[in-house]
Structure 1
Amino acid sequence: MSADTAVPVREAPEPRPTAGGARERRLDRVRDALRRAAPALALYAGARLTGMAIMAAWAWWIGRHPRTLLGHSWDGIWYAGIARHGYGLILPSLTTRGVVFNDLAFFPLFPGLVRAVTVVLPLTVVSAGLLVAWVSAGAAAWGIYAVGELLHGRRVGTLLVVLWGLLPHAIVQSMAYTEPLMTALAVWALYAAVTGRPLWAGVLALLAGLSRPNAVAVAAAVICAAALTLCQDRRSRTDWRVWTGAAIAPLGWAGYIVWAGHRSGGGLFGYFEVQRLWGSRFDFGVNALGFIRHLITGRDSMAYYMTMAVTGIALVCLVLLLLDRPPAALFVYALVLVVIAVGGSSYFASKPRFLLPAFPLLLPAAVAMARARPRTVVVTVGALAGLSFFYGTYLLTVARMPM
């Protein structure tokens, strides 16, 4: 057959990607990300399990039950009550005049998840609360690693997770409290915002806003990221995902504030009256400064001095974070959390717990440790572990003050 009469052969068209193929690729990316994070997650799990084991051993020694200390202490009692019976409990304080405890002060996502777990699994409310908190802490640790790896590489990501797991108040990450859940939602919202997924960032910020009052920091960070995107990229101004993500980010927080205000009978801003009756309000740090003066001139519990130290270090870390020039969303998130923690009145000993979700504050330390000699890193981690394990045990078994 001559070239003139040859039948042309068409190349087979490339197969179009199917929905199943796209899902498989996404799963592959998730599995790959999890494999990279596995060493960091193993170190985190080891740190938290060791801390809980030491606390449990001492608790049993003094006749206390570790499960009760972790799952049914202070705020954990309120969350368990909401999970069992819903909202509606109001108790006047027996020790402080004018203080009224109203369970509307507690946001609904954590107790809602706890109740859902008890419906699906044969667990008590206390055990379900611990399960939700522990799963959330693991998800938070993974997200913290992902952010650290994205910004500075795997070594920094691993050290960032280790530092977060060895904070003095890290025992709270193992309790039936809302901080692990908020941190998990916040860190993945920030990751989505930084990596150009504005809609996911908005959805996660909305959910985070249903977890804690200070989760408004997540919405602020997501809105900041969206605003910068709109300013820097004109094409994004026609992208509905950017606008939608920013619009829905504060809806969880604002929605509960409005609902709780009306439920309390106080109208649109009734929630803040609920907080005031708890003895909690924003006074720009006046109460905190007064208490610090008391600590300097007098004597009080070790927990208060640790709170003063942690708060001071957080302020220094905020300045160092700014000098490190992180993505704006991360800095705004950390800034809002620090302002709320430092500027809030009463419950001085709870300030380190309020700062627990502020993981970006640890970035400068993680970067510095990544550049240090291995011996320095080992000594530093060992010292932090000793402090975290001892202090966590002290908080739950000796201090006996609201965290």
Structure 2
Amino acid sequence: MNSAVWSRITAAGTHAARWPWWLQVGGLYLAARLVSACIFMAAALQQGVNPWFPAKPDYWNFINIWDARWYGEALRNGYPTELPTDDAGNVQENAWAFYPLFPLLGRSLTGLTGIAPAASLTVIAMLSGLAASLVVYCLFRLKATHRTAHWGALFFSTFPVAAVLQVPYAESLNLLLLAGALLLVVRRRYLGAIPVVLLMCLSRPTGVPFAAMAGVLFLYHVYPHLVARFRARPAGDVQHGQPGHYGTPAGERHSPRELWSLAGLAAASGVGALLWPAIAWVLTGDLQAYTKTETVWRGHDLVPFKPWFDTGVQLFGPVLGLLAPFVFVAVFVLLMMSRPVAALGTELRLWCVCYVGYLLVFLHPQTSTFRMLLPLFPLALSAALVSRSRAYRGTVIIMFFLLQIVWVVWLWAWAQLPGGGDYPP
């Protein structure tokens, strides 16, 4: 019996392998979302008293909590022109912390179809996640074979926090735009990436690290040209000289036109990163409207790097806690230097470095940090490159789904803490 079942599974896998790549990747993404939906429904049956609905809610109510309520607020009522404050004048939680592209698309879909705002946001999140998985595969395919890129896309679809891709959060939309922008950058279509990046900057706060990546990438590629100019070498020596002698390898060298396009992308990314805070300033009259709102959830003003040391001390004590951020950075550097990560190429590795640098500077580490690691999705391809063993890759998928259960039950489901409130997902 077991042999017959295994034979059928093998035959089904062989048949599916002949499908078009987009059907393979999309089908597995939808299957992963179905598993995540089952995890959500099982957790909902255990959900007790909470701030939003009666105990044991249905699936649709259960996924429309936490930040989904804020996106729904932005969809229905827009953004306040006056920041709400308490009696002491402190800014209170409000919609300005949530970027506008996702609720704007939801409002458009609701206006066109008449469906409920929560349903509109859920549909957009699901379709964006599906599209993101296809773009991620195309990006990975530039660096690996079909099979490995396929496994990398499957890792992306089953990440421990991938369940968030089917709830009314902006993560799936942001990842679609981020993956599209990175795909264009790797293909050196820098000017074509500009509108994608500007939209990305209005979906979630990923504009700053992207601008940093584009800027550093420009300096990396312009270096051989500057060296040649100062050494009075002919331009031909720069473009066709020995690999690596003046910086970038010959295959990565850029023409002047490509350099100007990359510089334009870096500049546009910088503008895009400031766009939403500037809109908040214009509409509220408060220059710090966005940052004041964003830091409400922290409970204190933004001080670069300091929250990592505070959290380290809280978790590991006064000595080890101060060392913990340095250990984290050292481990990350070693990871970036490993062979599977090096196979990602300059652009994707640089994106990972800039994004982690951004988190170190601006992030207040907490339970939401797990969700904020999703933009490091290029590392999914590195994980697939570690080994071609089906046993290894299958074990990773199983581990990811088990960790999804942990994430949903621990963080998505509401369980009031002794001091009130609960850890956010």
Query: What is the TM-score normalised by the length of structure 2?
Result: 0.73
Q: Which amino acid aligns with 2:292?
A: E
Q: Give the structure 1 partner of residue 245 of structure 2.
A: none
Instruction: Give the Å deviation of 1:167.
Output: 2.0
Q: Give the structure 1 partner of residue 393 of structure 2.
A: 377
Q: Give the structure 1 partner of residue 40 of structure 2.
A: 55
| 2:126/2:172 contact within 8 Å kept | yes
Instruction: Give the Å deviation of 1:396.
Output: 2.0
Distance 1:332 1:281 in 2: 29
| 1:48/1:174 contact within 8 Å kept | yes
Which of these residues, 342, 362, 382, is aligned with residue 364 of structure 1?
Answer: 382
Q: Give the structure 2 partner of residue 42 of structure 1.
A: 27
Secondary structure of 2:423's partner? coil
Q: Give the structure 2 partner of residue 199 of structure 1.
A: 191
Distance 2:277 2:369 in 1: 21
Instruction: Give the Å deviation of 1:193.
Output: 0.8
| 2:307/2:365 contact within 8 Å kept | no
Secondary structure of 1:213's partner? coil
Distance 1:384 1:158 in 2: 16
1:157-178 deviations in Å (ceiling 9; x for gaps): 1121222222222221111111
Distance 2:78 2:401 in 1: 38
Distance 1:131 1:314 in 2: 38
Q: Which amino acid aligns with 2:75?
A: A
Matched, 1:275 2:268: no
Q: CA 1:229–1:347 in 2, change beyond 3 Å: closer, same or farther?
A: closer
Q: CA 1:91–1:76 in 2, change beyond 3 Å: closer, same or farther?
A: farther
Which of these residues, 58, 65, 84, is aligned with residue 58 of structure 2?
Answer: 65
Distance 1:288 1:243 in 2: 33
Q: Give the structure 2 partner of residue 31 of structure 1.
A: none
Greater share of helix = 1
| 2:211/2:270 contact within 8 Å kept | yes
1:171-216 deviations in Å (ceiling 9; x for gaps): 2111111111111101111001101211221221111011112333
Matched, 1:402 2:424: yes
Q: CA 1:244–1:115 in 2, change beyond 3 Å: closer, same or farther?
A: same
Sequence identity (%): 25
| 1:224/1:329 contact within 8 Å kept | no
Distance 1:138 1:316 in 2: 32
Q: Give the structure 2 partner of residue 254 of structure 1.
A: 274
Q: CA 1:263–1:285 in 2, change beyond 3 Å: closer, same or farther?
A: same
| 1:193/1:329 contact within 8 Å kept | yes
Distance 2:308 2:262 in 1: 38
| 2:141/2:149 contact within 8 Å kept | yes
Q: Give the structure 2 partner of residue 168 of structure 1.
A: 160
Distance 1:327 1:379 in 2: 26
Query: What is the TM-score normalised by the length of structure 1?
Result: 0.77
Q: CA 1:389–1:312 in 2, change beyond 3 Å: closer, same or farther?
A: farther
* Stretches of structure 1 lacking an aligned partner (at least 5 in a row): 1-33, 299-308
| 1:99/1:278 contact within 8 Å kept | no
Q: Which amino acid aligns with 1:59?
A: A
Q: What does residue range 61-100 of structure 1 map to in structure 2 within 5 Å?
A: 62=47, 63-70=56-63, 72-88=64-80, 90-92=83-85, 98=90, 100=92
Question: Which one is further off, 278-287 or 381-390?
Answer: 278-287
Q: Give the structure 2 partner of residue 138 of structure 1.
A: 130
Q: Give the structure 2 partner of residue 391 of structure 1.
A: 407
Q: What does residue range 141-160 of structure 1 map to in structure 2 within 5 Å?
A: 141-160=133-152
Instruction: Give the Å deviation of 1:119.
Output: 1.1
Instruction: Give the Å deviation of 1:321.
Output: 3.4
| 2:311/2:365 contact within 8 Å kept | no
1:52-77 deviations in Å (ceiling 9; x for gaps): 1221133145412321221x312111
Distance 2:133 2:333 in 1: 20
Matched, 1:339 2:357: yes
- The ranges of structure 1 where at least 4 consecutive aligned residues each deviate by more than 6 angstroms after the TM superposition are 311-315
Q: CA 1:224–1:41 in 2, change beyond 3 Å: closer, same or farther?
A: farther
Instruction: Give the Å deviation of 1:151.
Output: 0.4
Instruction: Give the Å deviation of 1:247.
Output: 3.6
Distance 1:275 1:202 in 2: 26
Distance 2:198 2:358 in 1: 19
Q: CA RMSD in A?
A: 3.2
Q: Which amino acid aligns with 2:177?
A: L
Distance 1:193 1:55 in 2: 36
Residues paired across the two proteins, number:
354
| 1:220/1:332 contact within 8 Å kept | no
Secondary structure of 1:131's partner? helix
Q: Which amino acid aligns with 1:45?
A: L
| 1:209/1:250 contact within 8 Å kept | no
Instruction: Give the Å deviation of 1:313.
Output: 8.2
Secondary structure of 2:206's partner? helix
Secondary structure of 2:130's partner? helix
Instruction: Give the Å deviation of 1:108.
Output: 1.0
Distance 1:165 1:238 in 2: 33
Instruction: Give the Å deviation of 1:131.
Output: 0.8
Instruction: Give the Å deviation of 1:121.
Output: 1.5
Distance 1:159 1:393 in 2: 26
Which of these residues, 322, 345, 349, is aligned with residue 327 of structure 1?
Answer: 345
Which of these residues, 180, 185, 200, is aligned with residue 188 of structure 1?
Answer: 180
Q: CA 1:240–1:50 in 2, change beyond 3 Å: closer, same or farther?
A: same
Q: CA 1:317–1:148 in 2, change beyond 3 Å: closer, same or farther?
A: farther
Q: Give the structure 2 partner of residue 119 of structure 1.
A: 111
Which of these residues, 204, 226, 229, is aligned with residue 212 of structure 1?
Answer: 204
Q: Give the structure 1 partner of residue 14 of structure 2.
A: none
Question: Which one is further off, 194-203 or 126-135?
Answer: 194-203
Secondary structure of 2:93's partner? strand
Q: CA 1:149–1:172 in 2, change beyond 3 Å: closer, same or farther?
A: same
